[in-house]
Structure 1
Amino acid sequence: MDKESLPRWAWLLAALIVAAIVSQLINLVLLHPIGLSEEFEVVTTITLMSPVLIYVGIWYDEHRQEYWERSRGQIAGDVLFVLVGALLGSATVLAMIVDTGWSRLILDIVAMFAGFVTGWALFWWRNTELYRDESGTR
């Protein structure tokens, strides 16, 4: 794929739409039949969107291209960390606040924030060198 064919925001939007569609298919085909509560559908979406938010930036930024020279095992481990972090972060926070009586929108936003931050924090923890500036500081 030629990253210069579309601006960064367009790649991000397209990938987020694909992640949303795939998450809804997973919810419909796999998780609804086993009894997933409607309030927790957002966790699947957050989990699949988290790597998109991280990896589109790494793929698009020229100064972060050395990341792709790593072993497939390390990249797969990073993706797994992001997925598990987003899943646990969003599900844990949502479980704590689901019975507060807040609107579904507020619940989803708080869960998204928790999931995205947890996933990115785990990715950053494994890859601090990607986020150092030219002077070597973080």
Structure 2
Amino acid sequence: MDKETLPRWGWLLIGLFAMAIIANTLNIVVLGPAGLPEQFQVITVITLMAPVLIYIGVWYDEERQHYWEQSQEHIAGDVLFVFVGAAVGSAIALVAIVDIGLPRLLQDVGAMAAGFMLSWGLFWWRNPTLYRAEASR
């Protein structure tokens, strides 16, 4: 994949769209028939989109290329932390707000914010040097 083919937002859009299709297919084919309530199916979408939001920046930015020099085990651990953080964060947020009576869109946005923030927080916790230059500004 050539970074120069598309701008950053183009790669982000393609990645998020692909993950939304995969997550919704998983929801329709597996999780829906297994009994997962519809209002909780957004957790799957958030969980699959979180790595795209985090890793497009790490892949695209030149000053973060040293991340890819780490061991495969470390990178796999980071990906696992991102997935678990997104799933747990969005699930906790949804459980807390699903019965309040908010519109479905607000519930989904709240779950997305919580899931992404927890997953990014765990990623940052495992890789604090990756963002050190921005923190010192």
TM-score normalised over the length of structure 2: 0.97
Structure 1 stretches of 4+ moved >4 Å: none
Mapping 1:1-138, distance limit 5 Å: 1-133=1-133, 137=136
Per-residue CA shift, 1:3-27, capped at 9, x if unaligned? 1110000000000000000100111
TM-score normalised over the length of structure 1: 0.96
The structure that is helix-richer by fraction is 2
RMSD: 1.3
Amino acid in structure 2 at the alignment position of 1:22: I
Per-residue CA shift, 1:49-70, capped at 9, x if unaligned? 0000000000000000000111
Structure 1 residue 83: Cα displacement: 0.4
Structure 1 residue 30: Cα displacement: 1.4
Q: Whole-Å Cα distance in 2 between the matches of residues 93 and 3 of structure 1?
A: 35
Q: Whole-Å Cα distance in 2 between the matches of residues 26 and 71 of structure 1?
A: 30
Partner of 2:33, secondary structure, is coil
Partner of 1:32, secondary structure, is helix
Structure 1 residue 28: Cα displacement: 1.2
Q: Whole-Å Cα distance in 2 between the matches of residues 112 and 9 of structure 1?
A: 19
Q: Whole-Å Cα distance in 1 between the matches of residues 11 and 101 of structure 2?
A: 36
Partner of 1:3, secondary structure, is coil
Which segments of 5 or more consecutive residues in structure 2 lack a partner in the other structure? none
Structure 1 residue 137: Cα displacement: 3.8
29-38 or 120-129, larger mean C-alpha shift: 29-38
